[in-house]
Structure 1
Amino acid sequence: MHQKNTPLKACAAAAAMLLALTACGSDNDNALVGVSDSALAFDSTKYTTINITIDGVQVPVRWYKEVCYVAKPVAMSATQTSLTGASSTIANPTCGYQSMNIFVPESVAANTDTALYFAVNNSGWFASYIKASVADGASFNSTTSNVGAALKAGYVYIDVATRGRGLTAADGSYPGKVPSQVVDAKAAIRYLRLNDARMPGSASRIVVNGTSGGGGLSSIIGTSGNSPDYLPYLASAGAAGIDANGGSTLRDDVLAINAYCPITDLGNADLAYEWLYTTFGTRAAVGRNPNPAGSAQLAAKFPAYQQGLKLANGSGAALNSDNMMDQIRQEVTRSAEVYMAAGGTIPDLGEQMTYASGPTTGTYTNDWLDVDNGTKKVVSIDMAKYLKFVATQATLKAAPAFDQTGMTITAASGESNLFGTASQKYSNFTEYAWDNNDVHGDGIGYDDTGITGSRHFSLATTPVMGQVKLINPLAYIGTTAETAPYWYVRHGTRDRDTAFTVSINLTRALQADPKVQEVNYRLAWNQPHAGNYDVPEAMAWIAQTLKAAAARGL
C-alpha cells in the first residue's frame, strides 16, 4: 500500500542542521527551511462540520474555509468584473483569489493516504474567486456530479481560487498576468506538501481537475512540476518551500491530470484555429469570415509550426499538416465507435441526431457521418461537412481567435489581457495581432510604437514571450521538469472553442514522454465545450490510477 510521506526519525534527530534536512529528502522536513513556512501552518482544528447527502445517504463533511495558501497575497479591488462582463463585489479582497476551500468527508478525517481532488475553476483563463462547491444541506448524485463522486469515493475535495485575466488589484494594477495563475496553483500544491503530516489525505496523490481555461491550467500544472522557472514568482507570493536564497525545499509536481477541453498552447492557437477552419472553406461555408486575409495568413503558418513540434502520429510517422486532418478523422471515428460499443445508437445519414448539453437539449441533421449500428462501426466521415457542423454548434471566433484585443475588425478580446506587465490592461502576444492592432493610444502594436511584432518580441525587455512559455505545457514536456505520470484528457466532438489539433498535440507529446505512464485521451462523443460530463468513467479512471500508482510505490 502507498505510504504517506511523513518525517523520518533520522531527519528529526538532525532537524537543527540544514544539511541533514536537505539530505533526508522528506517534503515535511525540507519544508522547515522555507521563508514563509511558519506563516502557512495548517490548523487541523479550524473547521466547520456540514452535512450533505450523496445518493440519498447523509455524509458529514469537515469544511476548512478559505485557507490562504500564500503568505503575501495581493490585495484586490473589492469590485471585480466576471467572465460575462458583470460587476460584482467580493467579500474577501485580502485573499479571496489565493485561497482554497477544503472539504474532508468525516469518514476519512484520519486517513493519511487518500487522494486530494484538486479542482481549478478558472473558465476562459479568467480569475477564479474562491468558491464552495459543497454547502450545508446540499444533495449530490454521484453519477452526474464530480463533487459528489469524489467525496463518496473518500477523496479530499479542494476548490482552488487563483488569479487570472480580468482581475484588478486594490492599487489599480492587473495582477492576473501570466504566470500568476500557474504560480497560485503551485503555491496551493506547496501548501498541501508543507502541511502533509497535519492534514487528511496525501499530498503525493493530487489529482488536478479543470475545464477550458481550467483544463489549460491543469495541463501546465501537470507538465511543469518543480521547474525553477516559477521560483522567483513563488518567492514573491510568499509560497511555501522557498528558502532565503530563492531555492525550493518542496515539490509542486502532481500525480494525475483530469482535463477537459484544455485551452492551451496560446502562442500558436490562432494558427491551428485558422488552419482547421479554412482548409475546407468552413468559415466561408457558415458565413463567418470577417477577416479572410488574416485567416489565410495565419493558416499558412500552421504547417511549419506543426512540423517544428516533431511529434509522431498514432502510426509512428511524423505528425504534420499533411496528415493532421486524418488524425482528427481517426479520433472522431474512435469516439463514435466507443459510443456505439457502449450501447449508443447514431442516426443514419439524413436523420435527426439529438444532443444534450447540461440542461439544454436539441436536434440536428446528420449529414456528415455514415455508421453501421449493427457492427458498431463508422463507414465514412465527410470531414468538410463535419467541420461545418462543428462551426454551426457555436459561432466561430473571429480571426485571430485568441489574440484579438486592439483589432477593431474583431470587436472581441480573446486572451490578450493575460499578457503584458501588471501596469498594462492587455498586450498582444502574437506577431500578427501586434502588427494589426489598430486601436490608437493603447500603447500596444506597431501603430503606437513603430516597432514590428518580430522586433518587439525579440527585445529582452519584452516579457510576453517568456509569459507564453510559462503557460504552455508543450514547452515543458520532455524536459527536466516533472511531468505528471497519469493523464485523462477529453475534448468534445462538437467543441469549436479551440482547434482539435491542440489536444491532439498535447496528448501525442505526453505519449512520447518516458515519465508518463498513461494518457487516456478521446474526443468525447457529441459533447460541446464542457467538462465533467462523464463522471462515472472519469472517477473509475482515477480509482484505477491510484491503484496503479500505489503498485509503483507512488
Structure 2
Amino acid sequence: MLRKNLSRRVSLIGTVVTSIGLVAGMASAQETPLTLDPAAFTTVNVTVDGKPLALRRYEVVYVGKPVAMAAEQPARRMGPGGSPSGAETQTLTDLLAYQKLAIFVPETATDSSAIILNVNNGGWFASELKPGIQDGGAYVSNSDTDKAGAALAAGYVYVDVGSRGRGIVAADASYPGKAPAAVVDTKAAIRYLRLNDAALPGSAERIVITGTSGGGGLSSVVAASGNSPDYYPFLAEIGAAGINADGTSSLNDDVFAVIAYCPITDLSHADMAYEWLYQGIRSADNTAGGWSAQAQAASAELAAAYPAYLAGLGLNLADGTPLTTETMKDAIADEVRREVERRIASGAPIPALGEDFTYTMHKGPETIEATAKNTWLAVENGEIKSLDLDAYLAFVTQTAALKTVPAFDRTANTGNQGIDGENSLFGAATLPYSNFSAFGWDHNEVAGDGSGKDDTGQDWATYTAAPDNALAIQTRLINPMNYLGTDAKAAPYWYVRHGMIDRDTSFAVELSLANAARMDADVQSVDFRLPWMTTHSGDYDVTEAYGWLAGVLATAGKP
C-alpha cells in the first residue's frame, strides 16, 4: 500500500485531458469568493426536545471555480436492478447546487464544538445540496433516526454538502462527476470550513464526516486520505481554498472522525470479494440473478482472484492473526457471534431454529416488516450453542437477492446489458462509462465503447501500469485502502457499521476496511459492528453513534 504522488497531467483512452478528464465541464461561473461573511445568514427557528432553538443558516459555494452544470439532469437515484426510479429527468433550480454547502450554527455552539459534515452520495451518485434542517422543524435528541436532533442538542455545528458524482451532466454535455470528483468536492468543502474557521463557532479541527452506502465509501476515503497531495491538482482545477499557485497547499483537509454506514468501497476488488464470499450460495436455477453459464464462470474466476489480493494487503486482526482468506470467514463469524451476544445481553428474544427472524426492509421512503427462517443460529439458556456461517450467508441472501455477476463492474461484460453498476463513475468525462476492474476490463464485450482489452489491445495490468494512467488514478483516489497505512493523515476516530443482513457488498470488504483503519498509526480507535438484523441503510442508531462521538470528543480534549 505504498502511496505515489499522482499529481501530473494524464490521458485516457486516446483523449488528452487534464486530471482524468475533469477539464471537461470546467467552464466556471464568475469566480466565487471563499471568505465567509459572518453577517450573511438567515435565522432558522426550530425546536429541539420541545424547546425553541435559533440557528444561523449560511449557504455558500465552497469553491472558487464551480462547474457549469446543465439545467436538465438525468435521474440519479436508481431502483432495483439498476433501473431509474422516479422521474427520468429533473430541472435544477440552482445550477451551483452540486458545489454548495449549508451551515447551521445553533446559538449554543462554542468555538470548540464539533462540526457534523453530511454527505449524501448514495450509490456514488451526485448529490445537490439538500439541507437537513428546516425552519419550523421539530427535532429530538433521543431518537435513533434523528441525527440533526442529536447534533443540535449537543451544540454541534451541522453542515450539509452537495457534491458531484456519477449521473450528472455539465453544460458542455460532458460528465463532470467522474471519480475522484466526489472526494475532491468534499475535501474542498472541508478546506472552506478551515479557511473560515475563525469566522464561526465550531472547530474545523473537529470535523466529523458521515454518510451511507456510497456516501459511507466517500466518507471513508476522505477520512483515510487527509492532506494527501494526490488530490491537489484536482482541487486546483475547481479553485479550492488553500491550493497555491505553485501546487502546494496552505490548508489541511483531514478530519477528526468518521461515522460511516455500509461503505461501498474498494470498488476495483469488491467483485472478487463478493464472489469469494457468496459463490457457494448461488444456485444454478437463479436465472433472475444472472446465474447463466457465463455468470457461473465469471463468479469462479473472480472468487479465485481474491485470496492473492487480500493477502497482498498485509492486514492483521486485533490479536495479530493475518487476515487472509484462510481466516476471513472465521473473522466474519466472530463479528456475527459478538452481535448475537449483544442481543442476548439486551434481553431481546432470539427465535429458535426453524422459527422466523423479523426484520425491516427499506423501499424508498417506505419500510416493510418481513420475516426469514432461522436456519443458522441455536441459542439455549442465554448461550450460543451453534452458529453455522454458511447457513448464515444463505440466510442473508434470503432477505435480499444477490447482486448480478459481477456485482459492481458489470457494464459491457458477462452478458449484462446497458450501463449498470458503478461503471458510470469511471472513464473520461467525454465517455458515459468505463470498466474499472481487471475482470471487467479484460472481459469487455462491447466494441467501440472505448473501454476494455477489445478496444485498446491491452489487458488491465498492461493498460494501467503507467504511473500517470488516468483510470488507475481514478480507482486509486476513491479507495481508502490505498491511503490507510501511508503518510496521509487518517481520521483518529472511526465508527463503521454494516448491517448484519446487508448483502450490498461483501462482509470481507468491510472487515478489511475496519482492520486497515485500526492498523493505521494515526487512528486511535475503530468501533465496528454488524448491527442486528439490519439491511443496507444508515442513521438507524443515532443515540449510540452520537454517544460514541461525545465519548471520543471528551477523550481528545479541547482542540
Query: How far apart are the structure 2 equivalents of 1:391 and 1:284?
Result: 15
Structure 1 segment 252-267 matched on structure 2, within 5 A: 252-267=253-268
State the Cα distance separating 1:37 from its structure 2 match.
11
Structure 1 segment 221-260 matched on structure 2, within 5 A: 221-260=222-261
Q: Paired residue for 1:370, among 374, 378, 384?
A: 378
Query: How far apart are the structure 2 equivalents of 1:325 and 1:466?
Result: 31
1:469 aligns with 2:476: yes
State the Cα distance separating 1:57 from its structure 2 match.
2.5
Which residue of structure 2 lines up, in the alignment, with residue 426 of structure 1? 433
> In the TM superposition, what whole-angstrom CA distance separates every residue of 1:116-156 from its partner, at most 9, and x where no partner exists?
00011100000011101111122223313111111111111
Moved over 4 A (4+): 283-287
Task: Please tell me the residue identity of whatever aligns with 1:49.
Answer: T
Structure 1 segment 329-340 matched on structure 2, within 5 A: 329-340=333-344
Query: How far apart are the structure 1 equivalents of 2:125 and 2:450?
Result: 23
Query: How far apart are the structure 2 equivalents of 1:547 and 1:313?
Result: 27
Which residue of structure 1 lines up, in the alignment, with residue 311 of structure 2? 307
User: Do 1:37 and 1:194's aligned partners in 2 also have CA atoms closer than 8 Å?
Assistant: no
Query: How far apart are the structure 1 equivalents of 2:283 and 2:151?
Result: 41
Structure 1 segment 362-511 matched on structure 2, within 5 A: 362-372=370-380, 374-375=381-382, 377-407=383-413, 409-411=415-417, 413-459=420-466, 462-511=469-518
State the Cα distance separating 1:270 from its structure 2 match.
0.7
User: Do 1:37 and 1:240's aligned partners in 2 also have CA atoms closer than 8 Å?
Assistant: no
User: Do 1:282 and 1:387's aligned partners in 2 also have CA atoms closer than 8 Å?
Assistant: no
1:146 aligns with 2:152: no
* Partner SS for 2:357: strand
User: Do 1:494 and 1:526's aligned partners in 2 also have CA atoms closer than 8 Å?
Assistant: yes
Task: Please tell me the residue identity of whatever aligns with 1:300.
Answer: A
> In the TM superposition, what whole-angstrom CA distance separates every residue of 1:407-454 from its partner, at most 9, and x where no partner exists?
362336111111111111111111211122212332222333333333
Q: Relative to structure 2, which stretch is displaced further, 403-412 or 503-512? A: 403-412
User: Do 2:63 and 2:238's aligned partners in 1 also have CA atoms closer than 8 Å?
Assistant: yes
Which residue of structure 2 lines up, in the alignment, with residue 328 of structure 1? 332
Task: Please tell me the residue identity of whatever aligns with 1:155.
Answer: Y
Count matched residues: 510
Query: How far apart are the structure 2 equivalents of 1:283 and 1:255?
Result: 45
State the Cα distance separating 1:460 from its structure 2 match.
5.6
Q: Paired residue for 2:44, among 47, 50, 59?
A: 50
* Partner SS for 1:409: coil
Which residue of structure 2 lines up, in the alignment, with residue 18 of structure 1? none
* Partner SS for 2:392: helix
Q: Paired residue for 2:90, among 88, 91, 101?
A: 88
> In the TM superposition, what whole-angstrom CA distance separates every residue of 1:487-535 from its partner, at most 9, and x where no partner exists?
0000001101000011100111111122111100111111001111111
509 and 488 in structure 1: CA distance in 2 versus 1, 3 angstrom threshold: same
> In the TM superposition, what whole-angstrom CA distance separates every residue of 1:177-211 from its partner, at most 9, and x where no partner exists?
11111110100000000000001211011011110
Query: How far apart are the structure 1 equivalents of 2:164 and 2:212?
Result: 16
Query: How far apart are the structure 1 equivalents of 2:374 and 2:284?
Result: 20
511 and 316 in structure 1: CA distance in 2 versus 1, 3 angstrom threshold: same
State the Cα distance separating 1:478 from its structure 2 match.
1.4
Which residue of structure 2 lines up, in the alignment, with residue 350 of structure 1? 354
Give the TM-score normalised by the residue count of structure 2. 0.88
Which residue of structure 1 lines up, in the alignment, with residue 301 of structure 2? 297
> In the TM superposition, what whole-angstrom CA distance separates every residue of 1:257-302 from its partner, at most 9, and x where no partner exists?
0000000111111100000101x33454866423000000000001
Task: Please tell me the residue identity of whatever aligns with 2:64.
Answer: A
Q: Relative to structure 2, which stretch is displaced further, 82-91 or 413-422? A: 82-91
Task: Please tell me the residue identity of whatever aligns with 1:522.
Answer: R
* Partner SS for 1:107: coil
Task: Please tell me the residue identity of whatever aligns with 1:121.
Answer: N
284 and 380 in structure 1: CA distance in 2 versus 1, 3 angstrom threshold: farther
1:75 aligns with 2:68: yes
Q: Relative to structure 2, which stretch is displaced further, 401-410 or 256-265? A: 401-410
Q: Greater RCO between the two (CA within 8 Å, min separation 6)?
A: 2
Which residue of structure 2 lines up, in the alignment, with residue 270 of structure 1? 271
Structure 1 segment 136-215 matched on structure 2, within 5 A: 136-142=135-141, 143=143, 144-215=145-216
Q: Relative to structure 2, which stretch is displaced further, 288-297 or 261-270? A: 288-297
1:121 aligns with 2:115: no
Query: How far apart are the structure 2 equivalents of 1:284 and 1:155?
Result: 52
Query: How far apart are the structure 2 equivalents of 1:457 and 1:521?
Result: 33
* Partner SS for 1:301: helix
User: Do 1:277 and 1:283's aligned partners in 2 also have CA atoms closer than 8 Å?
Assistant: no
1:60 aligns with 2:54: yes
Identity of aligned residues (%): 50
Query: How far apart are the structure 1 equivalents of 2:238 and 2:452?
Result: 31
53 and 283 in structure 1: CA distance in 2 versus 1, 3 angstrom threshold: farther
286 and 334 in structure 1: CA distance in 2 versus 1, 3 angstrom threshold: farther
State the Cα distance separating 1:457 from its structure 2 match.
2.2
Which consecutive unaligned segments of at least 5 residues does structure 1 have? 1-35
* Partner SS for 2:412: coil
User: Do 1:286 and 1:391's aligned partners in 2 also have CA atoms closer than 8 Å?
Assistant: no
Give the TM-score normalised by the residue count of structure 1. 0.89
Task: Please tell me the residue identity of whatever aligns with 1:179.
Answer: P
* Partner SS for 2:108: helix
